[in-house]
């Protein structure tokens, strides 16, 4: 069992879903902690089903082919529980943004600032999206029966916190960048 297997089990524990739903979940709510494309999701779901950890019910879609809505079996729940009890593997991240920051002094000040502003904009957008999802989740809370909402809620809160932190850091970075540039020109002036 690889990482994605457990992630899908956890996703289905929150609420029964189709492969298509899970793919969207990865693109939106889960985007800041796990990435997966539909082409890896479908085969993995098939494997889990063969292993008896999940089952699916065919459900009509309003538009498009029939949906395979998967849910955990008792066996699946047991496996998931055992995995959740273990300490997590250290996270694997590949984020180009901080790498580019390392060489920010290769760009003219103006362009460097523009890039940081862009990064800030993206973070703000994400933050707003998570906030909207949190609001929506609170509104739906009453009529949601079978759903386990605490985990997703905590993760949304974390997503918002991360993005807000990023926005603050972008502002600091812009300030420091401009300050260091001023320092450089002042030295050049004094030195000349």
- The crossing angle, in degrees rounded to 10, of helices 19-27 and 38-50 is 130
Both tokens of 12, joined, read 């289905």
**CA–CA distances in Å: residue 171 to residues 32, 115, 125, 133, 168:** 21, 12, 15, 25, 5
Q: Does residue 92 touch a second copy according to CB under 8 A?
A: yes
Both tokens of 73, joined, read 């079996």
Q: Does residue 152 touch a second copy according to CB under 8 A?
A: yes
Q: Which of 44-52, 103-111, 124-132, 156-164 is the region at the interface with DNA (rule: CB under 7 A)?
A: 44-52
Judged by CB under 8 A, the chain residues 132 through 151 that form the site for a second copy are 148, 150-151
The nearest distance, CB 14 to DNA, in angstroms, is 17
**CA–CA distances in Å: residue 169 to residues 29, 124, 126, 158, 192:** 22, 12, 15, 16, 34
For residue 72, list its beta bridge partners.
Answer: 54
Q: Site map for a second copy, 54-73, x if CB under 8 A?
A: --------------------
76 binds, among DNA, a second copy, none (CB under 5 to 8 A by kind): none
Both tokens of 35, joined, read 């990435």
Round to whole Å and give the CA distance between 13 and 83. Answer: 13
146 binds, among a second copy, DNA, none (CB under 5 to 8 A by kind): none
Q: Does residue 81 touch a second copy according to CB under 8 A?
A: yes
The nearest distance, CB 41 to a second copy, in angstroms, is 14
Round to whole Å and give the CA distance between 181 and 167. Answer: 21
Looking at residue 17, what DSSP letter applies? B
**Contact footprint for DNA (CB under 7 A):** 2-4, 18-21, 23, 35-40, 42-46, 61-68, 92
**Contact footprint for a second copy (CB under 8 A):** 3, 6-7, 9-11, 13-14, 30, 32-35, 77, 80-81, 83-85, 87-89, 91-107, 111, 115, 118-119, 148, 150-152, 154-155, 157-158, 161-162, 165, 168-169, 172-173, 176-177, 180
């Amino acid at each position: 069992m690889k990482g994605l297997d457990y992630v899908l089990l956890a996703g289905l524990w929150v609420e029964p879903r189709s492969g298509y739903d899970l793919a969207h979940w990865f693109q939106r709510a889960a985007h800041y902690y796990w990435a997966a494309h539909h082409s890896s999701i479908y085969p993995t779901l098939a494997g889990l089903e063969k292993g008896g950890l999940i089952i699916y019910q065919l459900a009509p879609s309003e538009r498009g082919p029939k949906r395979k809505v998967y849910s955990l079996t008792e066996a699946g729940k047991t496996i998931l529980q055992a995995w959740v009890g273990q300490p997590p593997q250290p996270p694997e991240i590949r984020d180009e943004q901080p790498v580019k920051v390392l060489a920010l002094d290769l760009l003219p000040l103006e362009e460097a600032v523009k890039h940081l502003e862009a990064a800030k904009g993206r973070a703000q957008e994400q933050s707003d999206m998570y906030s909207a999802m949190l609001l929506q989740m609170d509104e739906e809370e009453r009529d949601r029966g079978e759903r386990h909402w605490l985990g997703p809620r905590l993760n949304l809160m974390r997503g918002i916190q991360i993005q807000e932190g990023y926005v603050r850091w972008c502002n600091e970075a812009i300030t420091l960048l401009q300050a260091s540039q001023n320092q450089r020109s002042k030295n050049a002036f004094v030195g000349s």
